[in-house]
Structure 1
Amino acid sequence: MSGLARDAAAFKTALHRQDYTSWHSQPPDIVYSQPADTGTGTNVNTQLVYLVNHLKHNGNPMRLQDLAILTNTPVDTDRVLLEKFRAHDRVVHDPKTDLYSYRHDFNVRNKAALLTEIQRQTRKGSGLSVRTLKESWKEAPQAIEELEKEGEVYVTRTLKDGQMRMVFWNEVKPTEEQGGMPVEKAEFHDLWHELEVPNDVDLLKALASEGLQATASAAPAIKHGGVKKKGKKSAPRHRQVRITNTHLKGTIDLSRDYVAPGGK
């Protein structure tokens, strides 16, 4: 038998030994409503978190079909996942356009709306987190820097790298009409530094002349006498007992210990 004939016979034998059953059968427990390997997991709750996060960072309303393709999840075919997605408190569905968007903490899309929101929060006694504003509007940091240069807001920054942290509304605008302009040095600075703080005694006299008095923490402590020398402690003094039972006087000596007859 030639070499070519031997190779052909070996090839036929290998074909007969090959198992083709796996080509036509699938395990009975495969769920066809979910992809076998999506990259986002097969758990419904895990896929829900991935969908909401994608909608949050996208920033624009999206179609359900586009969400399914971009996140590689069956949100457009899996009824359970779709119901959970629509019921999420951060997901907004517009039935007119059939688009889905993320519900941010603040609905700002321009510089004017941003300033209005900062003013509202500052009047309540608190500022706004720059990070939270950036999540609502990606261009918020640039707008905040512009508002800061215009004197509309105050910004706090981190000590390490100077990143913006909180923003507050500047209620005192740097204008001649509303005040807030820098003060001339000769007008205020020199007068301020020329002021002398009186000593404690003169301060108490000045307060007394106006009918006022210093608080306990501000009043100077007045020491009486010298400082006692450290040494051995003196023996405790015996105080004389005061007899109050005067009606027994003459019958019992109360200055001595009373001992009952028989030593009991």
Structure 2
Amino acid sequence: MSSLNSQLKGFKSGVVNQGNFVQARRHIASPAPAAQVSPASTPGASGSGGNSSSNAAAIAKRKKPVKNNVVYSQPADTGMGLYIMTQVLHLVEHLKEVEKPLTRADLERFLAKPLDSTMIEILRSHDKLVFDHVTDTYAFKPLHNIRSAQQLLTHLQASTTAQGLSVKELKDGWSGALATIDELEADGSILVTRTKKDGQARMVWINDKSLNVTIDDEFKTIWEKIVIPPAAELPGELERAGLKPTSVDPATIKKAMQKDQGKKQKKPRRGRITNTHLAGMLRDYN
């Protein structure tokens, strides 16, 4: 019993001491925040100058530094993309728009950055660009080297086929293609086919004026007075006029085909003769 009583007294004394410790912690005064500065402690206000300068220095120390998002390991974005092929695409489109050769300095000025050896190698081997080793210039290579009315007429006259030339191909590298086509069409130098929806030029051909034939108005009047019968009655009209039609009436051909299909020859059905040993004894009823 004495040992139990001593343990109980020790437990009670520990609980009492713990309660006093918690109570003592509650009475500890918290320090005043250093970030809050009263108007009296600011520079230029009333009060001691030493306290204001120390408070301002403490505030400056507690300010968070401004984050710098610039990554110095990556190239600067100049608006032309960060990848080489993207920049090459911008250079090709720029050369296509200006329609004249540009030097390396011109291209670097357009990209706002110097061209490295990799970029130079890609530009010189590009299938849409032409590099001149003498002048050290780069130019866009269109599908057809045509940029004037005279060049267009020369190209069409030298053509050995009657396929014509696509206007879409002409506009590749020649911004004034449509205006020149309209002028040559109005002059009668070329023939143009256009779309029905918006009248845009599609194909162009050379107009050989030596093949133009002048027809008298009297002949045109006689030609327009001739009435052509319908296609179904044309063979009959030719026969009544004593002319032989170049083709037979389709209705007659259809009827003849139907008659031929109805008259199919029937082959005689013959059985297999197996009793050949009775050939002299049997009677033939055929």
TM-score, scaled to structure 1: 0.67
Distance in 1 (alpha carbons) for counterparts of 2:125 and 2:269? 86
Q: What residue in structure 2 maps to residue 160 of structure 1?
A: 197
**Which deviates further from its counterpart, 187-196 or 55-64?**
187-196
State which of 89, 93, 98 in structure 1 corresponds to 2:127.
89
Secondary structure in structure 2 of the residue aligned to 1:136: coil
1:200 lines up with 2:235 in the alignment: yes
State which of 107, 112, 134 in structure 2 corresponds to 1:67.
107
Distance in 2 (alpha carbons) for counterparts of 1:77 and 1:50? 13
Distance in 2 (alpha carbons) for counterparts of 1:164 and 1:12? 76
CA contact (8 A) 1:54 1:71 kept: no
1:124 lines up with 2:169 in the alignment: no
Distance in 1 (alpha carbons) for counterparts of 2:255 and 2:166? 53
Q: Quickly say closer, same or farther: Cα 1:202–1:44, change in 2 above 3 A.
A: same
Distance in 1 (alpha carbons) for counterparts of 2:169 and 2:143? 8
State which of 144, 148, 166 in structure 2 corresponds to 1:106.
144
1:169 lines up with 2:206 in the alignment: yes
Distance in 2 (alpha carbons) for counterparts of 1:59 and 1:8? 67
Q: What residue in structure 1 maps to residue 217 of structure 2?
A: 185
Q: CA deviation at 1:10?
A: 4.2
Q: Quickly say closer, same or farther: Cα 1:151–1:8, change in 2 above 3 A.
A: same
Distance in 2 (alpha carbons) for counterparts of 1:87 and 1:241? 81
Q: What residue in structure 2 maps to residue 11 of structure 1?
A: 56
Q: CA deviation at 1:251?
A: 5.4
Q: CA deviation at 1:109?
A: 3.2
CA contact (8 A) 2:97 2:173 kept: no
Distance in 2 (alpha carbons) for counterparts of 1:117 and 1:240? 73
Q: CA deviation at 1:39?
A: 2.1
Q: CA deviation at 1:239?
A: 9.4
Q: CA deviation at 1:161?
A: 0.9
CA contact (8 A) 1:129 1:167 kept: yes
Letter of the 1:13 partner, please give it: A
Aligned residues: 225
Q: Quickly say closer, same or farther: Cα 1:164–1:20, change in 2 above 3 A.
A: same
Note the 1:40-55 alignment, pairs <5 A: 40-55=80-95
Q: Quickly say closer, same or farther: Cα 1:153–1:10, change in 2 above 3 A.
A: farther
**Which deviates further from its counterpart, 55-64 or 3-12?**
3-12
CA contact (8 A) 1:200 1:220 kept: no
Distance in 1 (alpha carbons) for counterparts of 2:119 and 2:110? 16
Note the 1:27-38 alignment, pairs <5 A: 30-31=73-74, 35-38=75-78
Q: Quickly say closer, same or farther: Cα 1:102–1:243, change in 2 above 3 A.
A: closer
Distance in 1 (alpha carbons) for counterparts of 2:223 and 2:66? 99
Q: Quickly say closer, same or farther: Cα 1:216–1:47, change in 2 above 3 A.
A: farther
Secondary structure in structure 2 of the residue aligned to 1:68: helix
Q: CA deviation at 1:222?
A: 7.5
CA contact (8 A) 2:130 2:141 kept: yes
Q: Give ranges in structure 2 of 5+ residues lacking alignment.
A: 1-37, 44-50, 260-265
TM-score, scaled to structure 2: 0.63
State which of 137, 146, 153 in structure 2 corresponds to 1:115.
153
Percent of pairs identical after alignment?
Answer: 29
Q: Quickly say closer, same or farther: Cα 1:150–1:14, change in 2 above 3 A.
A: same
Secondary structure in structure 1 of the residue aligned to 2:139: strand
Which structure has more helix as a fraction of its residues?
A: 2
Q: Quickly say closer, same or farther: Cα 1:253–1:119, change in 2 above 3 A.
A: same
Distance in 2 (alpha carbons) for counterparts of 1:169 and 1:102? 27
Superposition RMSD on alpha carbons, in Å? 3.9
